Amino acid sequence: MNKVTAVETHHKTFESIRQTDADGNEFWLSRQLGRVLEYSEYRHFQPVLERAKEACQNSGHPIADHFEDYLEMVEIGSGAKRPIQEVRLSRYACYLIVQNGDPSKPVIANGQTYFALQTRRQELSDQVGFGQLPEDQRRLMLRNEIARHNKDLAAAAKQAGVETPLDYAIFQDHGYKGLYGGLGAKEIHGQKGLKKSQKILDHMGSTELAANLFRATQTEEKLKREGVSGKSAANRTHHEVGRKVRQTIQDLGGTMPENLPTPDKSIGQLERLTQKKVGNKK
């Protein structure tokens, strides 16, 4: 099975074991997830579950909101049943589990991408009124968030050995090529019909910005989590994350970022319009 096929298969498997309760809340069951994550026995999976609970607590989230323990009755033959321990997991709980799993397993690495993207989407949806905001406001919000996270990404890349401005430009290009199917910053710039002085990120719609925000945040986390060292390794990591985000978009039936329309107004124009409106109200 090649890498692309593996990612697609794993993502579909995570979706297939997702359940919904009577109130419309989605959840996963720990024993099913453990099997999908290729743990041969549940007892081998339980330490990962405990580390995820600890991470949940350390992040300031109540464990009970994401890990619900209960006993399930299962048949053992001849009509007899016995109780087994089960845990009902939220999407965030699954995200923490794969973050604490064995990164050498392809299914764990693909799970990190899948649940991180799903969690990030939920975070955006949960922001006050984000889904109801006009497209221009969503663009401004996401662009500001990317600017903040790009600073964190630059710091993580520098720690990995990406030191000079040229090194960082090459590093960024690897991320773009992964996400845009081989297109680098220069090609994306040209495809959008931008002038040399114009920035790519200032000419993206909210969907394209969200994909790039996810690429940046997940690359930063991966560089730190795996202690990536060396420019070449950092570049490969950025390309890999970009490629996985692209594959996830494809698996979910989304439009590839290079095929998304370029907005008529740049972020700078939107900011000036916003400032003008504020000034007129005074």
Per-residue DSSP letters for 38-74? T-SSHHHHHHHHHHHHHHHHHTT--GGGTEEEEEEEE
- Domain coordinates in residue numbering, the chain: 1-102, 132-267
Cα 211-212-216 angle, rounded to 5 deg: 120
Do 213 and 145 touch, CB atoms closer than 8 A? Answer: yes
Is this structure's pTM higher than 0.85?
no
Q: CA-to-CA distance for 27 and 116, rounded, in angstroms? A: 15
Q: Can you give the pLDDT at residue 6?
A: 45
The answer for residues whose C-beta is within 8 angstroms of residue 81's C-beta and 6 or more apart is 73, 74, 75
Cα 196-199-203 angle, rounded to 5 deg: 115
Closest-CA residue to 48 (of 70, 65, 33): 33
Closest-CA residue to 115 (of 132, 135, 91): 91
46: alpha, beta or left? (left if phi > 0; alpha if psi -120 to 50)? alpha
Q: Can you give the pLDDT at residue 257?
A: 96
Core vs surface per residue 81-104: b (16+ CB within 10 A) or e: eeeeebbbbbbbbbbbbbbbbeee
Q: Can you give the pLDDT at residue 107?
A: 83
Q: CA-to-CA distance for 101 and 112, rounded, in angstroms? A: 9
Q: Can you give the pLDDT at residue 103?
A: 73
Q: Which residues of the chain register pLDDT less than 50?
A: 1-7, 282
SS3 31: helix
Burial of 214: CB neighbours in 10 Å, binned 0-12, 13-18, 19+: buried
Token pair 């925000």: residue: 213
Q: Which two tokens stand for residue 222?
A: 């991966």
Q: How far apart, in Å, do the first and last CA atoms of the chain sit?
A: 63
The answer for residues whose C-beta is within 8 angstroms of residue 20's C-beta and 6 or more apart is 26, 27
For residue 96, the cross-strand partners are none
